[in-house]
Structure 1
């Protein structure tokens, strides 16, 4: 769509009232994030009250009309998605405004590929709108869905604000207490001190400050020894304003000592996995365990189905279902049904565990059954990871059928990630639900569950590695493209695993050129693999100093994980080197440190073991070259195993990234900037 254009949603075939809106952008440097928001407006063009403002501290509407689904990994990095149910909107709401803003009013002009998309409930793309003129704006209204003569329409707006989220929200009648005004000297602690609820609680005021809870549940008891907050006064000192500071995440209580006599005693589990023997047993048990927890823990059920078009309502799940299909009835592994306002949403579930592939004909049968019975979706679940533009299994869609069925895929790694985010970082509303999530997470991570995520580099892996070794792999070999696709799946799974452990956004960085299609980018990476035998990736971890580079050199059998630490803006080079070495007190002795200079040539380098007593060895001789930063690298042997299972290459990459972050990246503080004192070095 062009800027300013509008179109009726009914004309696009969107007749369900439920849509998924995606906002995406890419950064040439791989850095920078933006936060999406939705505002519900009345006939006067203003919100009815602050509850009509949905953002990261207030992501879900009580009536299910709006839900911020968070980020989903895509080919270009990641995409923030929003589900809207127009049928659930109150009649007083005439417009939904879709916007995004950047923290500390950083400009959108640093981004490329700024784009909005709108899909129907089956996942079919209905429209797209790109913003190409972003400069200094720190917030944008992408578009709006509005009601005109009883019909819902979409208008592409693309209006920018230099005043950030506060300026945008104020225009629509919201009184914002903007966290962007927090003094930058406070660093990350400044954000913790202003943690508050979406309703406007002020963390500096004990009367309105939120009560920290353990991860066991927001409504559960406080950890032993936690003081109770003072009682709130009868009246507030002044009007409450929406705080845009992010909510504080409180660490869980220290677990109680075990009553077991020794380590050989194992606690009783709700979902035992140790006795599972066959693939069929694993598949049936895993499906039943997951579906039962989804039905009992609303937070998890919504996380896993909202992006597939399911409404926010009462969920029931079923197994051992028999559905007619010609002369041979079909038995899907499960059925998910959600009911809201008398309407039902139904999805068939087909699952595989232990690396077993999905069967195309089986999925095709379920798609046909769903279309005939008026079901909305088929969800496949396996250890494989889906790539955009590359379905896990190919299916044929009968265009003559009016009813459309969405085909969606979940990796077991994604399920584990969502469970980790809820139980370890965000919390749920009920302590019993938290316990169920903990049991589910223990089951998924058990070595016998078969739910270990992507664990097979594919049939092309061994021939390609052999071709690299004997130098017979040439450009144009289709097997190289297949290996590149497997590499992308592996990197995505590594991001999910690390993100679930840390509780922050972790996503691959895809440095694509404007207008470049997915197939062309993969072909270029395959040519690079044929030329130099290397698989390369970059990973962006929120709140770190830069991107983590991962390079698998299949010719040399080496895996390199590295990060660049920029030089401070002030001070003396020797002080920079000493400060860096102090921060690396817990890093491995074999960590390579290289000085980067503006001359372009290689700077001094050495292992941390040698540099610890003599940090000055990192300074260029002669003092003529200007230091621009330092590159920190860990090298690990990939090994010579030619198998395609998890025991080789996949485990090496996953373990290397986890180790590099925990021993190196996690201990690096941002370098001091002008006007900002150096933060205390993190303890090892």
Structure 2
């Protein structure tokens, strides 16, 4: 992989002869765990300017109509997050001369606050071609990372690294795009939402929408919060603003369909089950589960273009006509191999092909089987082998270690059933589909994946070393260097990542693990610290950050006491007496369980007076301690007993983690959010 410096350029043809779209990845990390940025893409015409507003791509306009530009979304990494962009350079219109890759921050945040700013570019097989690190970021709130441009009919890449203190508005303005920013957006936001509601209502009534609000024709969407008693129209993806002062307005109103509210149940008895398109009945073994799960997923990918494109874009496939096949046979030496499925995408006379190998339940992927599919794919000039199981890949790797020589011409990618469900939830419940029947079809797929007998629930087993490590901690015999503890640390990371996927799919907001890493850290060092924590304290800890949330949600499993805790820190109200701050918090926690621990934190302090909620309801002054010290924040902690088994039983450890986080969100954080929204 070629490492570029600022201002350098290179011809892409000199780096790879593999055809197909390229994938650019923008990455960063933040020592505080709170840093985030949004990527954007601008297409340039011959004059160096955008040809129109449609040449600007951002989170609410993530792809071009012809599929040549696709924002792939954020992926949590060991040190922060990465945002992917796929560009089919050969399919871009002839009058597009350049593709600008940029990112922006909001709410006064700057790029100088982020670490490890970087851009990487990979070919359609996933091979990294070049990398560009930015080490001189300062007070800029927008940044052009790099630029793809045509020169003598060939595409080249230039490492730009130019920052804008004027934010996204200043950056986009240089390319002829008018973007409202900060305070100026707030007034336009209310008008845009009003217009959106009007247009959506006309569309719902069957009328033809022939007008677009002038206020809503800006590249950066502005969103104003609807009144508490007025339902927001289902016209587009709705996200909470990630930072104060960040308001967005939609460039255009496009009706999107999500699952409708459940109808009245006409069953005579509560035990009646509604008929389902994808049934789990009659599945007797893992082979039958794998066949049905593969066929179900591939069929829905073909019938729901938005969903199929989101899945295949992860693997470098072009946007085009998709066909899927189940149980295809290939000659391999003197025998025959049968991958569980085949995906083929046709675009501009070229066909992209991937072989699919599926596992359900606890069935592991087998190295020999995966390598045989890599050989078949290479022999047939196929681009990719996709493995699908309940396991999750860490740090962009693969759950199975294969001979690297077999991946020189064929990409090996992995997908978890949890990631499939995440993409389906986002489209089904939040972002919507163009066709209402497609939303229903995704709902049927989700129902199938959630059934225990389908074997597609995601990561559900902490591994064979889990019980021995718990016993060693209880007995006090666990010591540094125990290789079994490393597997527990890896599985803990998988569990937290899967939890983020589920929470993100349910809320429609980006949710990612917070990794407070040091410069130069690598996954092995990070897991070594987790193992050290197990040896010293017997605890597994993690933090989860939801976009727009005031702070991270902490999760801690104490293997010595058998307790799991969910915790967060909320600021105390300003301009109020100490006791008043406590009573205001108690009113917000009216529906919270009595065993919730509340700790009063002084300014700059990490500990303070602590009491159970049930005791504070009778005597709020227990936290005030005579008013001796001002309360700056409250730490809220909800404990719960953990399970002991490894598998999918309700008492399992993984389900215990899910249960305590869900209970904390529903009974504690929900009351705080309502209080925040009331003013």
For the Cα contact (< 8 Å) 2:58–2:220, is it kept in 1? no
**Structure 1: how far apart are the matches of 2:345 and 2:438?**
19
Structure 1 position 609, deviation (Å) = 1.4
Who is 2:222 aligned against?
A: 245
| Aligned counterpart in structure 2 of residue 144 of structure 1, from 121, 133, 147 | 147
> Which shifted more, 542-551 or 12-21?
12-21
TM-score, structure 2 as length reference? 0.90
Counterparts of residues 615-626 of structure 1 (less than 5 Å): 615-623=620-628, 625-626=629-630
**Structure 2: how far apart are the matches of 1:382 and 1:608?**
42
For the Cα contact (< 8 Å) 1:563–1:633, is it kept in 2? yes
For the Cα contact (< 8 Å) 1:14–1:120, is it kept in 2? no
| Structure 1 residues 659 and 129: alpha-carbon distance in aligned structure 2, compared to 1, 3 A threshold | same
Structure 1 position 133, deviation (Å) = 2.1
**Structure 2: how far apart are the matches of 1:172 and 1:494?**
40
For the Cα contact (< 8 Å) 2:100–2:146, is it kept in 1? yes
Structure 1 position 563, deviation (Å) = 0.1
**Structure 1: how far apart are the matches of 2:285 and 2:209?**
58
| Aligned counterpart in structure 1 of residue 81 of structure 2, from 78, 82, 104 | 78
Structure 1 position 529, deviation (Å) = 1.3
| Structure 1 residues 392 and 601: alpha-carbon distance in aligned structure 2, compared to 1, 3 A threshold | closer
Who is 2:450 aligned against?
A: 445
For the Cα contact (< 8 Å) 1:475–1:531, is it kept in 2? no
| Structure 1 residues 259 and 238: alpha-carbon distance in aligned structure 2, compared to 1, 3 A threshold | closer
| Aligned counterpart in structure 2 of residue 487 of structure 1, from 478, 487, 492 | 492
Structure 1 position 66, deviation (Å) = 0.5
**Structure 2: how far apart are the matches of 1:375 and 1:75?**
31
Verify: 1:178 aligned to 2:173, yes or no: no
Counterparts of residues 237-276 of structure 1 (less than 5 Å): 240-245=217-222, 247=236, 249=238, 253-276=260-283
Who is 1:473 aligned against?
A: 478
**Structure 1: how far apart are the matches of 2:412 and 2:460?**
23
Who is 1:674 aligned against?
A: none
| Aligned counterpart in structure 1 of residue 401 of structure 2, from 394, 398, 402 | 394
| Structure 1 residues 475 and 236: alpha-carbon distance in aligned structure 2, compared to 1, 3 A threshold | closer
| Structure 1 residues 252 and 437: alpha-carbon distance in aligned structure 2, compared to 1, 3 A threshold | closer
| Structure 1 residues 523 and 670: alpha-carbon distance in aligned structure 2, compared to 1, 3 A threshold | farther
Structure 1 position 308, deviation (Å) = 0.4
Verify: 1:113 aligned to 2:116, yes or no: yes
**Structure 2: how far apart are the matches of 1:259 and 1:397?**
57
Who is 1:225 aligned against?
A: none
**Structure 2: how far apart are the matches of 1:180 and 1:37?**
21
Verify: 1:47 aligned to 2:45, yes or no: no
**Structure 2: how far apart are the matches of 1:180 and 1:263?**
53
Verify: 1:607 aligned to 2:596, yes or no: no
| Structure 1 residues 237 and 557: alpha-carbon distance in aligned structure 2, compared to 1, 3 A threshold | closer
> Which shifted more, 280-289 or 512-521?
512-521
For the Cα contact (< 8 Å) 1:161–1:167, is it kept in 2? yes
Structure 1 position 377, deviation (Å) = 0.3
**For the aligned residues, what is the CA RMSD?**
2.5
SS of equivalent residue, structure 1 residue 33 = coil
Who is 2:638 aligned against?
A: 634
| Aligned counterpart in structure 1 of residue 331 of structure 2, from 316, 324, 327 | 324
Who is 1:37 aligned against?
A: 40
Structure 1 position 545, deviation (Å) = 1.5
Structure 1 position 533, deviation (Å) = 1.0
Which residues of structure 2 form unaligned runs of 5+?
Answer: 224-235, 239-255
Verify: 1:653 aligned to 2:657, yes or no: yes
| Structure 1 residues 125 and 349: alpha-carbon distance in aligned structure 2, compared to 1, 3 A threshold | same
**Structure 2: how far apart are the matches of 1:210 and 1:167?**
30
**Structure 1: how far apart are the matches of 2:39 and 2:176?**
18
Counterparts of residues 406-417 of structure 1 (less than 5 Å): 406-417=411-422
| Structure 1 residues 338 and 563: alpha-carbon distance in aligned structure 2, compared to 1, 3 A threshold | same
Counterparts of residues 185-264 of structure 1 (less than 5 Å): 193=190, 202-205=192-195, 210-211=199-200, 222=204, 228=205, 240-245=217-222, 247=236, 249=238, 253-264=260-271
Structure 1 position 239, deviation (Å) = 9.8
Alpha-carbon displacement from aligned partner over 1:54-94 (angstroms, at most 9, x marks no partner): 11121111122100011123222321111111011111111
Who is 2:163 aligned against?
A: 160
For the Cα contact (< 8 Å) 2:117–2:135, is it kept in 1? yes
**Structure 2: how far apart are the matches of 1:19 and 1:239?**
32
Verify: 1:280 aligned to 2:287, yes or no: yes
Who is 1:91 aligned against?
A: 94
For the Cα contact (< 8 Å) 1:41–1:96, is it kept in 2? yes
Structure 1 position 422, deviation (Å) = 0.6
Structure 1 position 5, deviation (Å) = 1.6
SS of equivalent residue, structure 1 residue 308 = coil
SS of equivalent residue, structure 1 residue 612 = helix
| Structure 1 residues 476 and 232: alpha-carbon distance in aligned structure 2, compared to 1, 3 A threshold | closer
Structure 1 position 43, deviation (Å) = 2.1
For the Cα contact (< 8 Å) 2:579–2:627, is it kept in 1? no
For the Cα contact (< 8 Å) 1:545–1:669, is it kept in 2? no
Counterparts of residues 642-681 of structure 1 (less than 5 Å): 643=646, 647=650, 648-669=652-673, 679-680=677-678
**Structure 1: how far apart are the matches of 2:360 and 2:209?**
52
**Structure 1: how far apart are the matches of 2:612 and 2:17?**
60
SS of equivalent residue, structure 1 residue 559 = strand
SS of equivalent residue, structure 2 residue 404 = coil
**Structure 2: how far apart are the matches of 1:436 and 1:278?**
25
| Aligned counterpart in structure 2 of residue 57 of structure 1, from 49, 55, 60 | 60
| Structure 1 residues 302 and 604: alpha-carbon distance in aligned structure 2, compared to 1, 3 A threshold | same
| Structure 1 residues 20 and 667: alpha-carbon distance in aligned structure 2, compared to 1, 3 A threshold | farther
| Structure 1 residues 327 and 239: alpha-carbon distance in aligned structure 2, compared to 1, 3 A threshold | closer
**Structure 1: how far apart are the matches of 2:384 and 2:499?**
28
Who is 1:518 aligned against?
A: 523
**Structure 1: how far apart are the matches of 2:454 and 2:35?**
37
Structure 1 position 644, deviation (Å) = 5.3
Structure 1 position 670, deviation (Å) = 9.9
**Structure 2: how far apart are the matches of 1:622 and 1:419?**
51
SS of equivalent residue, structure 1 residue 155 = strand
For the Cα contact (< 8 Å) 1:211–1:229, is it kept in 2? no
> Which shifted more, 447-456 or 228-237?
228-237
Counterparts of residues 551-562 of structure 1 (less than 5 Å): 551-562=556-567
Aligned residue-pair number: 645
Who is 2:252 aligned against?
A: none
**Structure 2: how far apart are the matches of 1:284 and 1:240?**
47
Verify: 1:463 aligned to 2:453, yes or no: no
> Which shifted more, 459-468 or 284-293?
459-468
